[in-house]
Amino acid sequence: MSGQTRADNKTEALGQSRWLVFRAGGKKAAIGLEYMVKVLERAELFTVPLSGKEFKGIIYYNDIAVPVLSWEFLNGRKISGKSILILEQNQDLLGVEVDEVSMVEEHRAPKKTSGAGFWVELSKESGLAGLEVERLFETLRKKRAYPEGTGGTDDKENPFGG
Amino acid sequence: MTEAERKAEENYLVFEAGGFPLALRISQVVKVLDKQAAQPGTENLNLAEMLGAKTKKSEFRLELLVKDKIKSAAVDKVEPIKNLRLAIWLDFPGLMRRKHNQIIEGFFFDGSRMISLINLERLE
């Protein structure tokens, strides 16, 4: 998802960013389009030993073992999906299970939050929340992502919380 | 020779423990025994528990070379010794690497299974 157009430049100048909206666990959320690599409609998820509570397993993609995030770690809820979004940040790949991908929307780029969660509010009207991908990757890179029991769920923007 | 090519040249014992398909370099396997034929007095290594699971059938017992010591591990299934030349070697994802999973070197993907390569030299 590279290659800038005139429309991209205009979007950035207005402080807008583009988000891929998806549905998972019956709720809508979004991921910044700049992190998207691929939407896999079908991919076999393999459970592997000692993957930790942050990951559900791995998938085979382009000769790489890509870890798939556990929604339970992200939101405290067990969610499975038919499709997998492949995200990339600083050369690390990560899969996120979703039910379906809907459309790309433009929203004002949200400010970075200082809370423990991974979600930012994109639209008050629709209640759409966006995943803070950089924060998520940074957390996963740490030796232990979160102390036992917290799991990053104390996030008021979390669309899956409750 | 790349890491993937080097791995394809070696022979492995592919087996199952705790529900996971696993592989060990043949140089780290001393003997494969029936459960009944296990030698008494050998230090036990609970491989399934180490991998966060439970041994299911314990049909076989492996005598393994762990840092110059022979240890015995119960496993559920054992396949004939093979090379995994046709399988695709996949490095362990950096994002998933933690201290507790250092024992898993990476994976052989054979089209239907993701076989975890266990390196007993990394056992703490």
What pLDDT digit, counting tens, does each position of B44-80 carry? 899 989 998 877 778 899 999 998 899 999 999 999 9
What pLDDT digit, counting tens, does each position of A117-134 carry? 899 999 888 889 999 999
pTM of the model: 0.85
Is the pLDDT assigned to residue A80 strictly greater than 90?
Answer: no
Is the pLDDT assigned to residue A152 strictly greater than 60?
Answer: no
Instruction: Taking residues A27-37, report their average pLDDT.
Output: 95
Question: Which SS3 state, helix, strand or coil, does residue A137 take?
Answer: helix
Residue A96's contacts (CB-CB under 8 Å, 6 or more residues apart) are A24, A31, A68, A69, A84, A85, A87, A131
Nearest to B100 among A48, A50, A67 (CB): A50
- By DSSP bridging, strand A100-108 and strand A64-69 are unpaired
Contact A58 B96 (CB under 8 A): yes
Q: How far is A115 from chain B (nearest CA, A)?
A: 22
Contact B51 A93 (CB under 8 A): no
Is A69 an 8 Å CB contact of chain B? no
Contact B116 A66 (CB under 8 A): no
Q: What's chain A's average pLDDT?
A: 82
Q: Which residues from A are below 8 Å from B104, CB to CB? A: 48-50
3-state secondary structure B31-67: EEEEHHHCCCCCEECCHHHHCCCCCCCCCEEEEEEEC
ipTM of the complex: 0.89
pLDDT at B41 (0 to 100):
76
Q: How far is B15 from chain A (nearest CA, A)?
A: 14
Instruction: Taking residues A15-19, report their average pLDDT.
Output: 86
Contact A48 B106 (CB under 8 A): no
